[in-house]
Amino acid sequence: MSNPIAAWHTEHVYFNRLLALLHRQIDVFHSGAQPNYELMLDIISYLREYSDRCHHPREEIAFARLAQRCPDLKLALARLSQEHRVIAQAGETLRKALLAALGGAVISRAELEVAAATYLVYYGNHIAKEEEDVLARAAKELTQDDWEAVRTAVNPMRDPLFDGEPEARFRELRRQIALEA
């Protein structure tokens, strides 16, 4: 991790792009059309697989290290850790609803909108809070040893969407992101 704060911020930028794309798909409901459920599922799948398995576990280590050095942040960091669990659960709820819709089940528009809104609001606010309250303090307070602990917290995982050529299942998602930029 040559610059862990820059890497952390870059991932947040990527995640915000995906959340914006998901939000635009939910907005399609208001035009009376059907959103692209496959695209929505790809977004959730990526965020569940990469963010929940790689990004958030690394953050948990950074939060623990930062809480030791900055007692004034302990409560805020505990809340952010709790939000990781809420985001994971909200993502799973939305993923299941999308899978059901793709499988032909009748899912109400309201159910999908609520699941998506819960996910979008929690995740978006979570990223904003980390950007505002945590990154600058982490850059100032955490040591090279801390960052090494963060780096080794999880087995290395290549970002399947943004690191080079995307995995086959995420190619359409990557194309959509490029179209939105």
Q: Provide the residue count of the chain.
A: 181
Task: Show pLDDT as tens, one digit a residue, over the chain (181 residues).
Answer: 579 999 999 999 999 999 999 999 999 988 888 899 999 999 999 999 999 889 999 999 999 999 999 999 999 999 999 999 999 999 999 999 999 999 999 989 899 999 999 999 999 999 999 999 999 999 999 999 999 999 998 888 889 999 999 999 999 999 998 888 6
Name the residue range of residue 63's domain.
4-180
Domain count, the chain: 1
Are 141 and 66 in contact by the 8 Å Cβ rule? The answer is yes
Query: In CATH, what number is assigned to the domain containing residue 137?
Result: 1.20.120.520
For residue 89, what are its two tokens?
Answer: 């659960």
pLDDT for residue 156: 82
pLDDT for residue 179: 87
Alpha helices in 47-180 (DSSP H): 56-69, 74-102, 109-129, 135-141, 144-151, 171-180
pLDDT for residue 153: 87
